[in-house]
Amino acid sequence: NHTCVPVNGEGAVCLCDMLMGNVSTGDTYQLDLWAGEQWLWSDSFKPSEHVKPRAPGNLTVNATDSHTWQLTWSDPYPPNGSLHAKLFYLVNISNEDDPTEFLVSNVTYMEPTLRFPASTLRPGALYSARVRAWAPDYNSLWSEWSPRVQWLHDYEWPWEQHLPLAVGISCIIIMVVCLSCYFSILKIKKEWWDQIPSPAHSSLVAVIQEPQVPPRGKRSGGQEPAKCPYWKTCLTKLLPCLLEPGVERGDGSSQAARSGPVQGPGKPVWAFASSLSGSLATHAVLLGIGVGNASASVSAATATWLLKDSTGMLGRIIFAWWKGSKLDCNAKQWRLFADILNDTAMFLEIMAPLLPICFTMTICISNLAKCIVSVAGGATRAALTMHQARRNNMADVSAKDGSQETLVNLAGLLVSLLMLPLVSDCPSFSLGCFFLLTALHVYANYRAVRALVIETLNEGRLWLVLKHFLQRGEVLDPTSANQMEPLWTGFWPSLSLSLGVPLHHLVSSVAELQQLAEGHQEPYLLRWDQSQNQVQVVLSQEAGPETVLRAATHGLVLGALREDGPLPRELGELRSQVRAGPNTESWVIVKETHQVLDKLFPQFLRGLQDAGWETEKHQLEVDEWRATWLLSPEKKVL
């Protein structure tokens, strides 16, 4: 039994010290408090659960020959003590001039020493270090901090430490060389390569071969042949690596088509800006999942990453099912939509570390958007690549497009290596760079998509061309129609046009079928719902591209009857009937427009072909349903 008399401490605290010997982890003591003969309080106490080690002492710091600092301290317990060599240590190193700069190291190998690279500290700064102990076997409290030790960090970096700066400078040089080569290749392509109608008649070949095979009588005996500059010859040999021969090299619409988002001078700008923005977003995501944070959980980061990927996979499947059939019809609009959505996804990734509570949900939404981008961007890229393959060399065009993108991404990677250290510690600067790059990316992408000229008709381009034809009697050429085509909003006219619908959507009886098939021999049936301004078309098994084009034109002509603007005389009379007659007589209007189109559509089709439109194929959205119907000329029954 041990007895002690409490003495008054600071405030209302009373202290009672009892010296215990040979304490073991399994001991439990019974504590009783008495006031004379009166018992006041009783409780149990287990010393092993209330251990607070002594503070370490004799902390010193020394420089070593291996460009490291070594901290050493003494074990607070003698060799025969119960806690000797059983302590873990926590070392705190801080900058006296900048309290926000500090290092915390856990020493779990029970040796009273710590080494750390001198390069991790700021040269010329005054640093201090302190250490405290913890007994893991006793689940103890942390000890008090040891007295601080200070030293001046006068460390000079060896030449090896300057390698990152040399790498950065080399990256800039490589980037400048790559960009110079790229734009030089574009210039050569414009001045020589585009002028090659065929290898046998190439003006560039003539310039290069002229010194070797000079025409007779062209120069005198002492005249030296003209030499092509060596750098131009070298760059000319690099052209086949980045430029495919299938892009037309004329003027007019072909020149505009060559300037589209797949091949053109606008692509390097938005691809370069997108690469830099992607680097900022990747840096933010890695920071958010705990890279560089000693307290981060690997399991939590893995679960977050798997949840992000699974969300994106589901989104990719659902979007492909929902909008897959519309991507070919409006490739330019979906291409622009994909790039803007990609910028939005990267913005969410950059903002995710600033919202740690919603981090997982934010990056899941971001990856969902990126997966939608991968579907929309990949599908529209394939459609645009097919458009660029003027010689049915889609594989070559796609491969050279990949080479150009790789070159631009390499330049973006080199710049990212220099940019990320500047923005890693400044979120506001990172956001500023992102907004600048995003604005550049959207503008360059818009200009590239706007420059693209597609000679096949979708619903939007067909409506523009048909409206101009009905009002002025002229057919717009592909360049003019593509310049007028809306990219941001208004992809389609106000009329709802559905091609290739099932037959039961149009008719429910033989009488209704007779009404729709009466008065024409076209392999399609059309129904117009004036109340909803909706046109539904059933296509026959024999319907080809020209039939689909006529059916779409027929539906858009019906939509034009509900709008203002000049129309041909026959359609003007039908417009008056539409505005005056009841909706139940829509089939009569459809029948009369069949007769008008019998005379109008051949002129329109001939004008499309003369203007340069491809009428053998189209980009109209057509469902897969087809029907077969046969009406007797005498009775007209099913």
- At 463-513, the pLDDT tens digits run 999 999 998 889 999 999 999 988 876 555 677 889 999 998 888 888 888
Q: Which residue type is seen at 301?
A: A
The reported pLDDT for the residue numbered 50 is 76
Token pair 């420059």 is found at 451
Q: What is the mean pLDDT of the chain?
A: 79
462 close to 332: Cβ distance less than 8 angstroms: no
528 close to 593: Cβ distance less than 8 angstroms: no
Q: How many whole angstroms separate alpha carbon 143 and alpha carbon 638? A: 97
Mean pLDDT of 582-610: 85
First-to-last C-alpha distance (Å) of the chain: 113
456 SS3 class: coil
The reported pLDDT for the residue numbered 444 is 86
Q: Looking at the predicted structure, is the pLDDT value of residue 35 above 60?
A: yes
Mean pLDDT of 265-272: 68
The reported pLDDT for the residue numbered 167 is 63
The reported pLDDT for the residue numbered 551 is 94
The reported pLDDT for the residue numbered 209 is 47
The reported pLDDT for the residue numbered 218 is 44
Q: How far is CA 119 from CA 60, 66, 169, 560, in A?
A: 19, 11, 21, 75
Mean pLDDT of 573-601: 81
The reported pLDDT for the residue numbered 158 is 59
Q: Which class for 50: exposed (0-12), middle (13-18), buried (19 or more C-beta within 10 A)? A: exposed
The CATH number of the structural domain formed by 257-451 is 1.20.1250
β-pairing verdict for 88-95 and 57-63: unpaired
Q: How many whole angstroms separate alpha carbon 267 and alpha carbon 259? A: 9
Q: Which residues contact 199 (CB under 8 A, 6 or more apart)?
A: 205
pLDDT digits (tens, 9 = 90+) for 53-109: 889 999 999 888 767 888 999 998 888 877 888 888 889 999 888 877 777 877 776
Mean pLDDT of 314-325: 90
Q: Report pTM.
A: 0.60
Q: How many whole angstroms separate alpha carbon 36 and alpha carbon 27? A: 28
Query: 57-157 adopts what CATH topology?
Result: Immunoglobulin-like (2.60.40)
414 close to 174: Cβ distance less than 8 angstroms: yes
Counting residues of the chain whose pLDDT is more than 70, the rounded percentage is 80
316 close to 374: Cβ distance less than 8 angstroms: yes
The reported pLDDT for the residue numbered 581 is 67
243 SS3 class: coil
Q: How many whole angstroms separate alpha carbon 442 and alpha carbon 376? A: 16
Q: How many whole angstroms separate alpha carbon 177 and alpha carbon 167? A: 15
The reported pLDDT for the residue numbered 634 is 45
338 close to 380: Cβ distance less than 8 angstroms: yes
Q: How far is CA 600 from CA 456, 463, 472, in A?
A: 20, 15, 13
The reported pLDDT for the residue numbered 157 is 60
Each domain of the chain, given as residue ranges in start order, spans: 7-49, 57-157, 164-213+227-243, 257-451, 459-611
Mean pLDDT of 553-569: 87
The reported pLDDT for the residue numbered 583 is 55
H or E stretch at 39: strand 38-45
Mean pLDDT of 377-399: 77
Q: Which of 237, 454, 417, 231 is nearest to 335 (CA)?
A: 454
The reported pLDDT for the residue numbered 545 is 92
Q: Looking at the predicted structure, is the pLDDT value of residue 454 above 50?
A: yes
Q: Which class for 114: exposed (0-12), middle (13-18), buried (19 or more C-beta within 10 A)? A: buried
Q: Looking at the predicted structure, is the pLDDT value of residue 186 above 90?
A: no
Q: Looking at the predicted structure, is the pLDDT value of residue 246 above 60?
A: no
pLDDT greater at residue 98 or residue 293:
98
pLDDT greater at residue 199 or residue 452:
452
